[in-house]
Structure 1
Amino acid sequence: MIPKDKIEKVKEIWDEYIKSDQIVLDTKGNELPNIDELRLEAIESLSDIILQFKKKELSVGEFKTSIDSFNKRNNLWGFTAIKGQFFFNQLTKNLDDSGIKKLQDLLIQTISEPKNISEALAKIELLEKYCQNLYDKAKDKRLVPNPKSVCYFLSYFWQVADNEKWAIYYTASIQALDDIGLWKEKPLQRENYEQYYLLNEEIKNILKEYSKKAVSNWDVEHAFWHFRGNPNKKTEKKTKTIIIEKPEEKEEKTNLIVNASFDLTDYIIPRVSKLVELGSSTEKSATKKGYEFEKIVAEVFEQLDFEVETLGQGTGRNPDAILRFREENTAFIVDAKAYNSGYSLGTDDRAIREYINYYCPKLIKSGYKKIGFIIVSNEFKSNFDNFINEITWDTDIKRFILLTSEALLYLLAFKTKNKLSLANIIESIIGFGNPVTAKNIIDEFDDV
């Protein structure tokens, strides 16, 4: 039973949502117009993919890829984030044929819609025990599926089957319940989902009686996400803000705001947190600014667990760093660009080709089979597509990545916050289109 004072708070959250003309916000505070209609359309296609898997017309790998591809085009449930696709990727890693068969049977059993809440809890327990066994045995917990992602993962598939019956176990929804004093974390995931399911059902009934109309799972979800995304509500949560000084007016400042569920500076050290500000600074000479920018970029990559060979200024015509990850025979050539108004290719294409022609043979000789090139800058002005296509066609570079400074900092923050392995990080950044922005990183790794 929800206490009377909390019932009033639930009504207040609902009223604020209605007053907003029922504007739906995602977990980052971005508006999502027509989301319910889009979800209903998407469910038809998703249901076909899921049915093919259940009929064993798709392998586990094909199913995972199909779900990933669909959600990247239609990110309406936040499945592209850490507890969805990332969890799915971890589930399928390092399995032999018998392991794949076991996982396939387990997934077919657990993602199928439960008949009732008791059966739902039993399915959660099955997948949780499977993940917990892997988690307990793993030396590096970052390389195996996290049992705490099970509730979100399964409830996503159940809602596709029946959106009126099953509420998705969103981190943002749990945080909203916690904000108003209605949540108490329990040790087992099945216990948490039972608590969530019952609270959600009670809230729907309260709002149905209060509003005198039917209230759906999506209505409750939208209202509570609106509450979480409301910048005027009282909360301990912070919005990450980077202060950048305008070149022409030092006393005035511009706020570059990127929404995440945490404060960036809680997870990175002060020295590297100034990277974006340094890249936009006009107070230092270009040489001094470039040197400091290159050093911090190299430090961030080192904190991401790369083996870093620093080159850059003072070492002749060289890139700024070579990154190595011996475990997967992967390396990257890095060039850091501290440009005030954004980096454009200009005449640097010749230098980039020289770096590639000199270092790729050396890296290949040392056993590195996958080599990439990364340019780090605050922003990118010109279109690099033709140049990148030429490089990846004519040279040994497998991936050419334009990475914003802010995206690099968020990679480090999520590495610390979510205990990501370097393999996870590399897998993600090589999959993005260019340029890779902070939004890409937040969408990939932030909780939903």
Structure 2
Amino acid sequence: MIIKKKIQQIQTIWDNYIKTNRTVIDTKGTELVNIDDARRIAVADLKKFINEFQGGQSSIFEFKTNIDSYNKRNNLWGFTAIKGQMFFNQLVKINETNIENLTTLLKNCISLPKSLDNALTKIDLLEKHCLSIYNKAKDKRKVPNPGSVAYYLSYFWQIQDEKQWPILYTSLINAFNELNIWKESGNQADAYRYFYGLNEEIKTILKNYTGKEKTNWDAEHAFWNFKGNPNKQSATTTSKKEDKSIVEVEVEKEKTITVNPSFELSDYLIPKVASLVELGSETEKSSSSKGSAYEKLVSEIFKQLDFEVETLGQGRGRNPDAILRHREENTAFLVDAKAYSNGYSLGIDDRAIKEYINHYCPKLQKEGYKKIGFIIVSNSFRSNFDSFINEITWNTDIKRFILLSSEALLYLLAYKTKDRIQISIIIETLANLGNPIEAKNIIEEFDDV
């Protein structure tokens, strides 16, 4: 039972959502115009994939690919992130030798529940299956996380009946925690039971307050506006609360978008590396000492991402700052760390970069590395690198040239620590995202809304 003070807060959350003219913004900062109408169109398509899988017209592999491709084009539920598609990918991959049993299990679990108790039974079945794998795994990053089960299944249930089944989003749990109305549970079934009841109570509160019925989507959108709206200033962007109003005015004026993660960055970083952005902005130290310290931190973070790191850097001649290797993926990266407080521009470094590539690519190829990339890490980037990057990837053996912001690198490490992301996923993410890779791109990739 939600107490009166919390009811008033929920009513205020609804009022604030209405003041935005019911605006819903995705993790990329793009307004989703008429999201409910867009979802209803998508539901018709997604139901076809579910029905084909349930009816045996498509295999579990085809079903997974269909869901992945569709959501990448129509990311209306946040399923492309860790608890959705990544969970699905790992679930199928780890069960390839047991695919018939997994197919039978999934057909049962994603089918529309007959009741809440039936839904909880389905959650329990899939969670126990995942736990049997997770508890035995030496590397838990490579197996499906049991903590994703309730989100994963409730997504498929909502596709089939959006009026009945709310999705257990991380952002909703964060919002409920902030209101102090969330209760932690020992397993996914208990968590969904509590969430379901809380969501129903919130809809009743809003119905009584407005005089109109409220849907699962209404409640979700209102709380997304409260906790997950990427136009709202992130607490990690500024350390001074008194600056918040000034920053928000600037954000509105310049149309820049801040994407909120579902956690505090500092909670998942050790102090040793957490100061990377501040170090890159340092203006008091000499450029050489600042550069050396920045290079060491960048190398340390890549080590924590599970790369084999060979540190070169200052005092070692015309070399990149580090070489990253990952034998299992036959992948290597040359890394240059640039501690420029006003943003890095290419300038005269283009010649040095080409020298690094021409010198080290043949060596790495002899070692058996088939995929070689180049990463520049800096707080920000001032010039347009497109022509230079095109020249490098066309005329050298570099497969991918990556501009990676300091903050993005820290978020990559935080998600790796928080969600036990395997290095193959990290490499794939670095290779696939467009330049420059900023913090918001990493959050969009790995956070479920």
State if a TM-score over 0.5 links the two structures.
yes
CA gap of 1:335–1:56, structure 2 versus 1, over 3 A, is farther
Paired letter, 1:215 = K
Any stretches of 5+ residues in structure 1 without a counterpart? 245-253
Residue 38 of structure 1 corresponds to: 38
> Per-residue displacement from partner, 1:283-319 (whole Å, max 9, x unpaired)?
4444443333222211211222222111122111111
Match of 1:306 in 2: 307
- 2:127–2:146 CA contact under 8 A, matched in 1: yes
Q: Secondary structure of the equivalent of 1:407? A: helix
Correspondence for 1:380:
381
Deviation at 1:190, TM superposition (A): 1.7
Counterpart for residue 262 of structure 1:
263
Partner of 2:103: 104
Which one is further off, 47-56 or 299-308? 47-56
Could you say which residue in structure 2 is the equivalent of 1:137?
136
In structure 1, give the amino acid aligned to 2:430: I
Contact 2:229 2:260 in 1 (8 A): no
TM-aligned CA deviation for residue 364 of structure 1: 2.6
Greater Cα offset, 344-353 or 148-157 = 344-353
TM-score after normalising by structure 2: 0.85
Size of the aligned set, in residue pairs, is: 434
User: For 1:114, what is the secondary structure of its paired residue?
Assistant: coil
Shift of 1:35: 2.5
> Is the partner of 1:80 in helix, strand or coil?
coil
Alignment pair present for 1:195 and 2:190: no
Deviations 1:10-64 (A, max 9, x none): 3343344334443446689986553223322332333334344444454434433
1:239 to 235, 238, 241: 235
**Which position in structure 2 is the counterpart of 1:275?**
276
Give SS of 1:166's match.
coil
Instruction: Write out aligned runs for 1:326-337 (5 A).
Output: 326-337=327-338
Match of 2:421 in 1: 420
Where does residue 64 of structure 2 map in the other structure? Answer: 64
Shift of 1:428: 2.3
Alignment of 1:95-244 (within 5 A): 95-96=95-96, 98-229=97-228, 239-242=235-238
SS at match of 1:322: strand
Give the Cα–Cα distance (whole angstroms) in 2 for the partners of residues 421 and 230 of structure 1.
28
Moved more, 284-293 or 72-81: 284-293
Tell me if structure 2 keeps the 8 A contact 1:25–1:229.
Answer: no
* Aligned equivalent of 1:249: none
Q: Contact 1:110–1:154 (CA<8 Å) still a contact in 2?
A: yes
- Aligned AA (1:39): R
Q: Structure 1 residues 374 and 66, CA, compared in 2 at 3 Å: closer, same or farther? A: farther
Seen in structure 2, the aligned counterparts of structure 1 residues 92 and 345 have a Cα distance that, compared at 3 Å, is farther
In 2, are the aligned partners of 1:174 and 1:183 still within 8 Å (CA)? yes
After superposition, what is the alpha-carbon deviation per residue over 1:380-436, rounded to whole angstroms, capped at 9, x for unaligned? 334444543444444433332221111011112222222333333223222222221
State the match for 2:247 in structure 1: none
Identity of aligned residues (%): 63
C-alpha distance in 1 between matches for 2:53 and 2:389: 36
Question: 1:8 deviation in Å?
Answer: 4.4
Change (3 A) 1:413 1:153: same
Segments of structure 2 that go 5 or more residues without pairing to the other structure are 241-249
Contact residue 94 and residue 143 of structure 2 kept, 8 A: no
Q: How far 1:216 moved relative to its partner? A: 0.6
User: Could you tell me how far 1:217 is from its partner in structure 2?
Assistant: 0.5
Q: Hey, what's the Cα distance between the residues in 1 that align with 2:275 and 2:201? A: 47
Which range is displaced more, 192-201 or 274-283? 274-283
Q: Which moved more, 1:46-55 or 1:354-363?
A: 46-55
Distance 1:243 1:148, change over 3 A: closer
Structure 2 matches for 1:277-296, cutoff 5 A? 277-296=278-297
In structure 2, what residue type is equivalent to 1:13? I
Give the counterpart letter for 1:239 in structure 2. Answer: A
Distance 1:363 1:55, change over 3 A: farther
For 1:393 and 1:230, locate their aligned partners in 2 and report how far apart those are by CA, in whole Å: 39
Give the Cα–Cα distance (whole angstroms) in 2 for the partners of residues 50 and 361 of structure 1: 48
TM-score for the superposition, normalised by structure 1: 0.85
Asked if 2 retains the 8 angstrom alpha-carbon contact of 1:241 and 1:258, the reply is no
